[in-house]
A and B are shown apart, each in its own frame.
Chain A
Amino acid sequence: MGSQGGFYQSKEFLDLVKSIGEARSKAEEDRIVLNEIETLKRRISEPDIPKRKMKEYIIRLVYIEMLGHDASFGYIHAVKMTHDDSLLVKRTGYLAVTLFLNEDHDLIILIVNTIQKDLKSDNYLVVCAALNAVCKLINEETIPAVLPQVMELLAHPKEAVRKKAIMALHRFYQKSPSSVSHLVSNFRKRLCDNDPGVMGATLCPLFELIARDVNSYKDLVISFVSILKQVAERRLSKAYDYHQMPAPFIQIKLLKILALLGSGDKQASENMYTVVGDIFRKCDSSSNIGNAVLYECICCVSSIYPNPKLLESAADVISRFLKSDSHNLKYMGIDALGRLIKISPEIAEQHQLAVIDCLEDPDDTLKRKTFELLYKMTKSTNVEVIVDRMIDYMISINDNHYKTEIASRCVELAEQFAPSNQWFIQTMNRVFEHAGDLVNIKVAHNLMRLIAEGFGEDDDNADTKLRSSAVESYLRILGEPKLPSVFLQVICWVLGEYGTADGMFSASDITGKLCDVAEAYSNDETVKAYATTALMKIYAFEIAARRKVDMLPECQSLMEELLASHSTDLQQRAYELQAVIGLDAHAVACIMPSDASCEDIEVDRDLSFLNDYIQEAIEKGAQPYIPESERSGMLNISNFRNQDHHEASSHGLRFEAYELPKPAVQSRIPQTLIASTEIVPVPEPMYPRESYQTTMPSIPSDAGSAELKLRLEGVQKKWGRSTYTPATSTSNSTSQKTVNGTSQGDGASTVSSMRETYDSRKPQVEVSHEKQKLAASLFGGSSKTEKSPATGHKAAKASSHVVEKSHVPKSSLEVASEKATPAQQPPDLLDLGEPTATSTALQLDPFKQLEGLLDATEVASAVNGAPAASRSPDIMALYADTAAGIHNKNDADLLSGLSNPSVTNMPGTTAMPQVTQSSSKGPNPKDSLEKDALVRQMGVNPSSQNPNLFKDLLG
């Protein structure tokens, strides 16, 4: 029976399969297979093997490889089989190579020639076999070798060949659009092929082409509609029927194409209404494939310019799906509902009970789909219920991928719609507790910032309360074992900033807890660093308040441990802590002002505060600073005494980057300030070098966020000052923002559009009390529909705000990146600016708006550089005693040495144009932002494929 159909296999193969099937353990199976491999290796290289045998060996090899074993020794034999004259052997060879080899395999070169020959064969089966191989094995480089033949085959008399040739051409297009871009018109031509099968095959490449560029194919709308009409009216031969449906796969593809073409195009959509309506009516909803077509109709209807009648039909089908017993149909129903509520939100209400049923269904797939739907319909009235449910579900699952997704959605919803601060913090705590290591670190930084800034408004009292409650909840949560690292960082930071602020807890309470944390999570350096900095803050606040500081014994032992730590970061923090504790109240208050984490920081770019100090140094005989333009060669950073010596020694430390042309950069100086100011407080010889090195590689790539991030991390480590932690977090999140910006922006905008149009509804039908309650909380509520004009206003306001904030000149690159990413931000921002959401402040906070708008470096420099700059006189004074005359001189040199190299090393080529352009391009970002705001006001979301252009009309 195994040999039915003529695909004969030998007894040996049957035995092999059987013995593998009967193997009781993986080890036994492996043994059998290894044995087989040995046999095959021996046999396959014997001379004069009968073709039949050879074919069977190759099939056995394929089988072995499918089981996960290496069969590469036989690849060459498979390749050789493709050269055979016998179709049977050749086909087997092609099958084997398509399964064995990837398109870049070395052996492909041996096949290309054969393929070329076979494509010209008279036997269409040979041609088909070759085309199969072409689809799998031809890569960008080899496309030209077979392209002419494939093009000829598009006109082959056999329809099976034409179909496959189209697929091959499509494959070429996927692999290298440019290599066949001049040939795409052939797809259009083949659309008129007189064989429906070929026409159907053409739809695949056309779908992809249209998805990439809708506008060039608008002229085909009429053709597609008429084809769909003919198919739906059963004009095709009976052979195309499938379960009594006329060519359903062709219908589905056509509907998908129409959905793309009709999206946001009223005129095109009007051509489609009749045919889609017909299909709705004619479709057989009892078969699976009939429902597939119906579902595709709904997708189409929700994508094209809305038509009330079609929407009604779509809603009917959805309710049929949702009422069905089949989970598959329920799933499709939920998915379709998610699409349709975008344009007619009121239909969600009639299905609320079905939705809740799906939420409690044992089917995980269905549940997830339902959560997706809920996510789309969240608004401020139901956010509590939805997020609560999502978190419960998140806790219940193990799949990290999905856990991460839900966690980030919870965070997103909570940030947007939080009804109260209390709730927000509690929600975040839950998310962090259960999925802390999975959420983006940025979320943690946002939370810290929120707590630090409070909620805007002038109600300091409320902010204080919020902080107290946060501190209280964190002290409680610290009792739990095994908290995620990110969460601990938040906790440490908040305890450090606000632990003692309201006087409820004494410094020793808080420091005790912090020491416990550092001890309990002793192998997590980041947490330890946060804890150390928090300790420093607590002590600094105590000193500043002129209270007596008693260091707890455990704290002392922790410090001793850290002073000898292998991590330079921890070590530095510990030393800083030690130094701060030894200072007097006034100095401490300057270094570590209380609750100043979100104060604006001014950068003194000219370092004018150093003038006195320099004057003094020069009077003592120090060398004056030589501007870089007046110097030749490079500076020896650590010790240069005179010009000659400098010239001589410079060879030892030469870096080629110093040779670059020197731009006269004014606006870039802040960058150098980071480096230079860093060394001022802690004049340890290793620092300048280190910071210099971390700065260097990153500067050349202004656009490369990954590298920027790298550098910023370096900065953070260097700084280690608690007051500046939020600043560091901002810069970190900036770089992340650039990475995720687009997708987040998308999500946010969809959600906001949902919320704007989604309206609340009247009371519901009678059902079990509990469900009714849930339904009411999910779907009910009395939120008003927000009008989009308000949105537009907000966007404009937000963007102008942003522009105001960004007083640092922008480079052309920044302008570009602004278009790419932050252009998506405004919806985000305006959602936060919404009056009902209390989290206004969070969204309007300047850091956030700066993100992406400013070059990350500049944000960092603006924030990091300034405090040190303005405060360093104090610190300088502190260290002045220890600094010897020569030392002073070196300091000055250090500064200059540091600032100059980094200026020079800024890619002369890129930095220059940026700076020069920055002045002329200045207004551009503003323009683009305003344009964006305007576009949004009109309801067009440029980032999505289906702009909700007509939301207002339907609203």
Chain B
Amino acid sequence: MIKAVMVMNTQGKPRLAKFFDFLPVEKQQELIRRVFGVLCSRPENVSNFIEAESIFGPDSRLVYNHFATLYFVVVFDSSENELAMLDLIQLLVQQTLERCFKNVCELDIVFNYSKIHTILDEIILGGQVLETRSTEIMRAVEEISKLEAATNAISFIPKSASSWLSR
């Protein structure tokens, strides 16, 4: 099962973090920091795999890929295939994000934070790879986008949060 997907830039700033088992915020931050520490010490032209047991506990591997200013990282256990996970990153970046944003860059990911999450939810659910057809993923995302456009008319949330709380 996939344990986490992270996107961070080459300065170590997290751009997206999705943990499939809940972790407290502090722990997430620590893991991101440690992963970045390992990533930035990797020389050029080496494999995309890292044994991550010292960071994520027993039976965990890590695959990363470097695109422009971003690292895409997937953490998973022995029930997944390293090369396939590498391709999953490719699928996410080159076949989905590229199509969504045309020349995807770091800013796209930051500004479209919720959309990236939507895309990821389509690909991975509950830590399992659910969909790998980029056309399907795109279609699902488009449908949601359309909906968003349709509800652009301004509406108000009827009750204030406080009154709702006191219910």
Whether, in the assembled complex, A479 has its beta carbon less than 8 Å from a beta carbon of chain B, the answer is no
Q: Is A249 an interface residue (CB 8 A)?
A: yes
Q: Bound state CA distance, A748 and B76, in angstroms?
A: 27
Contact between A366 and B46, CB atoms less than 8 A apart: yes
Contact flags (1/0) for A232-245 with B, using CB distance below 8 Å?
00000001101100
Within 8 A of A (CB), among B22-48: 22, 24-26, 28-29, 42-43, 45-48
Contacting pair A59 B83 (CB below 8 A) = no
Is there an interface contact between B128 and A242, defined as CB atoms closer than 8 Å? no
Please give me the residue from chain B that is nearest to A290 by CB atom: B83
Residues of B98-133 at the interface with A, using a CB-CB cut-off of 8 Å, are 100-102, 107-108, 110-115, 117-118, 121, 125-126, 128-133
A-B contact pairs, 6 of them (CB 8 A): A5-B141, A13-B111, A77-B161, A125-B144, A167-B130, A292-B82
| A132 B121 Cβ-Cβ under 8 A | yes
* Nearest CB in chain A to that of B129: its residue: A249
Stretch with Cβ within 8 A of B (4 or more), from A46-54, A600-608, A617-625, A879-887: A46-54
Question: Per-residue CB proximity of B124-158 to A under 8 Å, as 1/0?
Answer: 01101111110110001101111111011011110
**What are the 7 closest A-B residue pairs judged by CB atoms, nearest first?**
A401-B54, A292-B83, A47-B160, A102-B22, A2-B111, A327-B47, A363-B46
Residue of A nearest to B142 (CB): A5
Q: Which B residues touch A67, using CB under 8 A?
A: 13-14
| Contact mask for chain A residues 207-225; partner B; CB cutoff 8 A; 1 contact, 0 none | 1100100000000000000
B50 closest partner in A (C-beta): A365
The reply to whether A197 and B136 form a contact with Cβ atoms under 8 Å apart is: yes
Known pairs A59-B113, A68-B26, A167-B128; A45 contacts B87 (CB<8 A): no
Q: Are B46 and A327 in contact (CB under 8 A)?
A: yes
- Residues in chain A within 8 A of chain B (CB atoms): 1-9, 13-14, 17, 21, 44-52, 54, 59, 62-63, 65-70, 76-77, 80, 84, 86-88, 91-92, 95, 99, 101-103, 125, 131-132, 135-136, 160, 163-164, 167-168, 170-171, 174, 197, 201, 204, 207-208, 211, 239-240, 242-243, 247-249, 252, 256, 288-289, 291-292, 295-296, 326-328, 330-332, 361-366, 368-369, 399-402
Bound-complex Cα distance A49 to B163 (A): 13
Q: How far is the CA of A296 from the CA of B78 in the complex (A)?
A: 12
Residues on A with C-beta less than 8 A from B113 are: 9, 59, 62-63
Q: Beyond A76-B165, A168-B126, A366-B46: 7 further Cβ-contacts under 8 Å?
A: A9-B112, A66-B28, A69-B25, A91-B144, A125-B144, A167-B128, A332-B83
Asked if residues B51 and A365 are in contact (CB atoms below 8 Å), the reply is: yes
Please report the C-alpha to C-alpha distance between residue A45 and residue B48 in the assembled complex, in whole angstroms.
46
The answer to whether residues A295 and B81 also contact, given A14-B111, A48-B157 and a CB cut-off of 8 A, is: yes
The reply to whether A402 and B84 form a contact with Cβ atoms under 8 Å apart is: no
Q: Decide if A248 touches B115 in the complex (CB within 8 Å).
A: no
The answer to the question of B59 belonging to the interface, with a C-beta cut-off of 8 Å to chain A, is no
Q: Are B145 and A52 in touch, CB under 8 angstroms? A: no
Docked-complex contact B86 and A328, CB < 8 angstroms: yes
Is there an interface contact between B47 and A45, defined as CB atoms closer than 8 Å?
no
- Residue B156 contacts which of A50, A163, A208, A256 (CB distance < 8 angstroms)? A50
Q: Count of A-B contacts with CB under 8 A?
A: 225
Contacts A207-B79, A252-B81 known; A44 to B135 CB distance under 8 Å? Answer: no
- The CA-CA distance from A256 to B1 in the complex, in Å, is 13
Cβ of B10 within 8 Å of any chain A Cβ, yes or no, is no
Would you give the shortest CB distance from B45 to chain A, in whole angstroms? 7
- Establish whether residues B125 and A164, one from each chain, have CB atoms under 8 Å apart when the complex forms: yes
CB pair B157–A242 under 8 Å, yes or no, is no
Give complex CA distance A830, B65 in Å.
46
Q: Is the C-beta of B93 less than 8 angstroms from some C-beta in chain A?
A: no
Instruction: Give A6 to B164 CA distance when docked, in angstroms.
Output: 30
Q: How far apart sit A211 and B59, CA to CA, in the bound complex (Å)?
A: 15
Complex Cα distance A365/B155, Å? 54
A366 surroundings in chain B (CB, below 8 A): 46-47
Q: Is B17 an interface residue (CB 8 A)?
A: yes
Distance in Å from the Cβ of A86 to the closest Cβ of chain B? 6
**Pair A332/B161 contact, Cβ less than 8 Å:** no
Chain B residue, CB-CB nearest to A243: B87
Q: Does B4 interact with chain A (Cβ within 8 Å)? A: no
Contact call A5/B100, Cβ cutoff below 8 A: yes
Query: In the bound complex, do residue A51 and residue B47 qualify as a contact, i.e. CB atoms below 8 Å apart?
Result: no
What class of interface size applies to chain B in its complex with A? Answer: 35 or more
Which chain B residue has the least Cβ–Cβ distance from A400? B54
**Complex-state Cα separation, A327 to B13, whole angstroms:** 27
Distance A168 CA – B127 CA, assembled complex (angstroms)? 11
Bound: A240/B135 CA distance, A: 9
Name the B residues within 8 Å of A240 (CB-CB): 133
Q: Provided the pairs A54-B157, A197-B136 are in contact, do residues A95 and B114 lie with their beta carbons within 8 angstroms? A: yes
Determine the distance from Cα of A36 to Cα of B45 in the docked complex, in whole angstroms.
Answer: 40
Q: State the CA gap A160–B156 with chains docked (Å).
A: 31
The reply to whether A331 and B157 form a contact with Cβ atoms under 8 Å apart is no
The answer to whether B111 and A9 have CB atoms under 8 Å apart is: yes
> Residues of B contacting A92 with CB < 8 Å?
114
**Complex Cα spacing A208 to B77, Å:** 13
B161 touches A50 (CB 8 A): no
Contact check, A17 vs B14: say whether CB atoms are below 8 A apart: no
In the assembled complex, the Cα of A6 lies from the Cα of B14 at a distance in Å of 24
Chain A residues whose CB sits within 8 angstroms of the CB of B162 once the complex forms: 45, 47
Q: How far is the CB of B48 from chain A (nearest CB, A)?
A: 6
**B118/A95 in contact, CB under 8 A:** yes
Check if A2 sits within 8 Å of B112, measured CB to CB.
Answer: yes
Specify the chain B residue showing the minimal Cβ separation from A91: B144
Is the pair A2, B91 in contact by a Cβ cutoff of 8 Å?
A: no
A402 interface neighbour in B54, B112, B141, Cβ under 8 Å? B54
Q: How far is the CB of B38 from chain A (nearest CB, A)?
A: 9
* Chain A minimum-CB-distance residue to B132: A249
B7 to chain A, nearest CB (A): 10
A-side contacts of B86, CB under 8 Å: 288, 292, 328
Contacts of A69 in B (CB 8 A): 25
Please give, as numbers and ranges, the residues of chain B lying within 8 Å of A54 by CB-CB distance.
Answer: 157
In this complex, which of B13, B100, B163 has the most chain A Cβ atoms within 10 angstroms of its Cβ?
B13
Contact B81 A327 (CB under 8 A): no
A5 contacts B157, CB within 8 Å?
no
- Tell whether, in the assembled complex, residue B110 and residue A21 are in contact, meaning their CB atoms are under 8 Å apart: yes
Q: What residues of A have a CB within 8 angstroms of the CB of B155 in the complex?
A: 50-51, 86
A66 and B152 within 8 A (CB): no
Given A80-B164, A239-B135, A292-B87, are A52 and B152 also a contact pair (CB < 8 Å)?
yes
The one of A239, A328, A369 that contacts B136, using a Cβ cutoff of 8 Å = A239
Residues of B within 8 A of A247 (CB): 132
Q: Decide yes or no: A328 and B132 within 8 Å by CB, A7-B145, A76-B165, A363-B43 being known contacts.
A: no
Given A95-B114, A332-B82, A84 contacting B157 (CB threshold 8 A): yes
In the complex, A6→B150 CA distance in Å?
10
Which single member of B13, B108, B146, B161 contacts A2 (CB below 8 Å)?
B108
Q: Which A residues touch B148, using CB under 8 A?
A: 6-8, 88
Of B107, B112, B121, B157, the residue contacting A49 (CB under 8 A) is: B157
Using CB atoms, name the residue of chain A closest to B20: A136
Looking at the assembled complex, report how far the CB atom of B52 sits from the nearest CB atom of chain A, in whole angstroms: 10
Q: A812–B116 Cα gap in the complex (Å)?
A: 57
Chain B nearest CB from A544 CB (Å) reads 50
Give the contacting residue for A66; candidates B17, B79, B131; CB below 8 A. Answer: B17
- Report how far A131 CA is from B25 CA in the complex, Å: 24
Closest to A171 in B: B126
B49 within 8 A of A: yes
State the Cβ distance, A259 to closest chain B Cβ, in Å. 11
Residue of B whose beta carbon sits closest to that of A131: B125
Which A residues touch B29, using CB under 8 A? 68
**Distance (Å) between the CB of B2 and the closest chain A CB?**
11
- The answer to whether residues A331 and B82 also contact, given A3-B111, A5-B112 and a CB cut-off of 8 A, is yes
Question: Taking the nearest CB of chain B, how far is it from the CB of A190, in angstroms?
Answer: 13
Q: Are B156 and A6 in contact (CB under 8 A)?
A: no
What is the CA–CA distance of A865 and B23 in the complex, to the nearest angstrom?
49
A589 to chain B, nearest CB (A): 51
B149 touches A48 (CB 8 A): no
B76 shortest CB reach to chain A, Å: 13
- Shortest C-beta distance, A139 to chain B (Å), equals 10
CB pair B90 A5 closer than 8 Å: no
